[in-house]
Amino acid sequence: MSAIDAYISYAVNVVQVLVADIDFQEPTLQLSLICIAFNPIFWNIVARLEYRKKILTKLAGNNPKRGCYLLAITIFSIGIVRDLVYENALKKQPTSKILTDNTILKDYLSYATFGFGGILTLSSMYALGVTGTYLGDYFGILMEERVTSFPFNITDNPMYEGSTLSFLGTALYYGKPAGLFATGFVYLMYSIALKFEEPFTAMIYAKRDEERSKKQN
């Protein structure tokens, strides 16, 4: 057996052991996965309804900025609920010795991953502001130019990637294979969300630029 085959065999065995330590029947894990899926689905549906029907703007007294702040509070709140449900789910899941016996994973990588995830999330919020972070473009609150400062100079989606890293860091800290599975699910849901968000956002700005071009001509 070659070194590569041996490595692959070892990796497969590790994955099998980790999966065996996940209690998929535990209701709290199922609820956590539902929350993880619900959040991006919710804000994409609400944002598109806002773009087409101006529902939140009308609820906020025909004030787009107030409507955006209303959505921001809602998204932030359901995000907190999701995180609390996730942490509670981990506490009821089996702990893996593969993760807890590895000091590097638990004491160093978990903190580094969670910390860097937090940096990406908070710095992107600072760079974009409330309306830039919470889908203000769907309310007609558009930015004049693309943000290219940190963290957008190292990644296009620091908010999503930072959130995913925070999930991963928490999973490593508690030594829970279920957390690794949930992290993968977070990444999947964000990837799907981006497939809808990025082209729609590009369309909004392209339409704005087209209208400006018509006015100039």
Over residues 168-180, the mean pLDDT reads: 95
197 annotated among ligand-binding-site residues: yes
| Phi, psi for residue 64 in degrees, rounded to 5 | -60, -40
pLDDT score at 90: 97
pTM of this prediction? 0.92
Report whether pLDDT(1) > 60: no
- As a whole number, mean pLDDT of residues 20-46 equals 97
* Amino acid 205: pLDDT: 94
Q: Over the stretch 66-101, which tens digit does the pLDDT of each residue have?
A: 999 999 999 999 999 999 999 999 999 999 988 888
Instruction: State how far the alpha carbon of 81 is from the alpha carbons of 34, 120, 183, in Å.
Output: 12, 21, 16
Whether pLDDT at 8 is above 90: no
Q: Average pLDDT, whole number, for the chain?
A: 92
From 26-30, 129-133, 208-212, the region with the lowest mean pLDDT: 208-212
- Please compute the mean of the pLDDT values over residues 12-37 and round it to a whole number: 90
What pLDDT score was predicted for residue 175? 93
**Would you kindly state where each structural domain of the chain is located, as residue ranges?**
25-216
Please give, one letter per residue, the 3-state secondary structure of the chain. Answer: CCHHHHHHHHHHHHHHHHHHCCCCCCHHHHHHHHHHHHHHHHHHHHHHHHHHHCHHHHHCCCCHHHHHHHHHHHHHHHHHHHHHHHHHHHHCCCCCHHHHCCHHHHHHHHHHHHHHHHHHHHHHHHHHHHHHHCCHHHHCCCCCCCCCCCCCCCCCCHHHHHHHHHHHHHHHHHCCHHHHHHHHHHHHHHHHHHHHHHHHHHHHHHHHHHHHHHHHC
More reliable by pLDDT, 109 or 8: 109
Q: Is 132 a known ligand-binding residue?
A: no
Q: Is 26 one of the annotated binding-site residues?
A: no
pLDDT for residue 91: 95
Structure tokens at 62: 């025909």
